[in-house]
Structure formats: structure tokens, C-alpha cells
């Protein structure tokens, strides 16, 4: 499991005291600048693949989970156990249904079918998997299955993994994606491309980010 996926699971399982996910700025402040806001962003965007233990330990201490969870192979079960401790759940099937309800298929404007979702996963999900998740028959999908669903609909994996009822169905960043027609079109068009071509598009976007950041430096 990529370190970014582990980070998303831990953010979902150990939310901020007010019930929402920790922001990069809050982690920056809580770690005394040991883990900066930009570092958090790069970690979540998979730009950092092998963070140092001191960084991981600082994040764990700030958010409030044992540092060894970073390396726990059964991390999904650990986070699920937390969600069972007094938190009313919004099931994965409900969150999946909500996404299908609010987001239409770009090609014909209709809601996504199980076959549509399976096709867009490029082998990550079968039509039977999608149906089982949608109906609740599969209430404990694997991390790979959750990640595949998140990629299809343009949300973070933590959207599905945070079981608290108070958690927003779509986070602010995801909503901004679908409010902006151009950004939404880029996201939807990218869904139909092979993984290598998606990585090429991401690389181009990162080049624009780097050039913009360089222009803004004093």
C-alpha cells in the first residue's frame, strides 16, 4: 500500500477534535513546523514515497495515533475498529450511492451503472464487485477496491473510510472540482485514459505548479 493511501486511512480514522480531517496547516502547527503544510500536500499527492521516520513520528504524535500504525499491514482493520467505537456510521454503500446520485456520466448525462463504474476502474473492480459494494453485500471492501472507487469519482479514499456520520459526503476540495467546469472536464476526460497517460497529464500539471511557485518566489 502506498504511503499516501496509509496517510488517508489514518486521517480518516483519527480526525481533528472537531470531527473533520486535519488540514496541512493544522498539522504544520501541531508539529511545530517539523512537518510543513507543503510536505503534507506532497505526501498526499504521492510526491513523497519514502518519508523519514521522524516525519512520520511527528505526524502520529500530532494527530494522536501510535507511530507503528504507519507500518501495520492490517491498517484498514485497525481504522475500522476505531470507527466502531461509539461513532454512528455512514456506510460505504451509502456514500457510493450518494456519489452516483450527484455525479452524472459525462457521455450521456445519466447516472453511472455498475457496468460503467467497473469499466472506468480499468480492471480494479468487476461489475459484481461494484454491485456488492453498492448494495452493501460487500461491507468490508479491500483498500485497492476503495482506492479504485475514489479514483473513479475524484475523491480521496478517506471519503469512504471515515465512518462518522458527521463527516461531509464530499469534502470542500472535491466539491470545488465539480463546481469548476474546466477542472471537472479534465477530471472526467482523464478517467477514460490508461494509467500511464494519466501520469503524463499529472506530470504536466506539476510542471505548471512548479513554474508558478518559482515565479512567486522573491
Q: List the domains of the chain with CATH numbers.
A: 3-83 (1.10.260.40), 92-179 (1.10.260.40)
Q: Is pLDDT at 181 greater than 80 in this prediction?
A: no
CA distances from 70 to 82, 107, 141 (A): 15, 40, 20
Tell me what the mean pLDDT of segment 22-28 comes to: 91
69 and 10 in contact (C-beta within 8 Å)?
yes
Res 183: pLDDT: 66
Q: 111 falls in which pLDDT band (50, 70, 90)? A: confident
pLDDT, tens only, 134-169: 888 887 787 788 888 888 877 766 667 554 433 444
Tell me what the mean pLDDT of segment 183-200 comes to: 71
- Alpha-carbon span 104 to 102, nearest angstrom: 7
Q: Is pLDDT at 127 greater than 90 in this prediction?
A: yes
pLDDT, tens only, 205-216: 888 877 776 655
CB proximity list for 34: less than 8 A, separation 6 or greater: 54, 55, 58
pTM more than 0.75: no
Res 144: pLDDT: 80
Res 108: pLDDT: 62
The least confident of 79-88, 182-191, 193-202 is 79-88
Coil, helix or strand for 194? coil
- Residue 63 C-alpha cell reads as 494527530
Res 130: pLDDT: 92
Tell me what the mean pLDDT of segment 100-111 comes to: 64
Tell me what the mean pLDDT of segment 56-64 comes to: 91
**Average pLDDT, rounded, for the chain:** 75
Q: Is pLDDT at 31 greater than 90 in this prediction?
A: yes
Q: 37 falls in which pLDDT band (50, 70, 90)? A: very high
Nearest C-alpha neighbor of 174 from the set 151, 193, 207: 151
Amino acid at each position: 500500500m502506498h504511503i499516501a493511501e496509509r496517510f488517508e486511512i489514518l486521517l480518516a480514522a483519527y480526525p481533528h477534535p472537531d470531527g473533520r480531517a486535519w488540514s496541512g496547516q493544522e498539522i504544520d502547527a501541531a508539529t511545530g513546523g517539523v512537518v510543513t503544510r507543503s510536505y503534507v500536500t506532497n505526501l498526499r499527492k504521492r510526491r513523497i514515497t519514502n518519508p523519514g521516520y521522524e516525519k512520520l513520528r511527528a505526524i502520529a504524535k500530532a494527530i494522536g495515533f501510535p507511530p507503528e500504525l504507519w507500518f501495520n499491514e492490517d491498517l484498514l482493520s485497525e481504522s475500522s475498529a476505531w470507527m466502531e467505537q461509539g461513532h454512528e456510521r455512514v456506510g460505504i454503500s451509502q456514500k457510493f450511492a450518494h456519489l452516483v446520485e450527484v455525479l452524472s456520466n459525462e457521455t450521456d448525462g445519466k447516472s453511472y451503472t455498475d457496468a460503467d463504474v467497473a469499466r472506468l476502474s480499468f480492471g480494479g473492480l468487476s461489475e459484481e464487485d461494484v454491485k456488492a459494494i453498492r448494495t452493501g453485500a460487500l461491507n468490508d471492501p479491500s483498500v485497492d477496491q476503495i482506492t479504485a472507487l475514489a479514483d473513479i469519482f475524484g475523491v480521496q479514499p478517506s471519503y469512504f473510510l471515515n465512518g462518522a456520520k458527521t463527516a461531509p459526503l464530499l469534502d470542500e476540495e472535491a466539491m470545488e472540482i465539480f463546481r469548476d467546469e474546466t477542472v471537472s472536464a479534465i477530471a472526467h476526460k482523464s478517467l477514460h485514459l490508461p494509467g500511464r497517460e494519466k501520469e503524463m497529464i499529472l506530470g504536466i500539471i506539476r510542471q505548471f505548479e512548479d513554474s508558478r511557485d518559482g515565479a512567486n518566489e522573491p
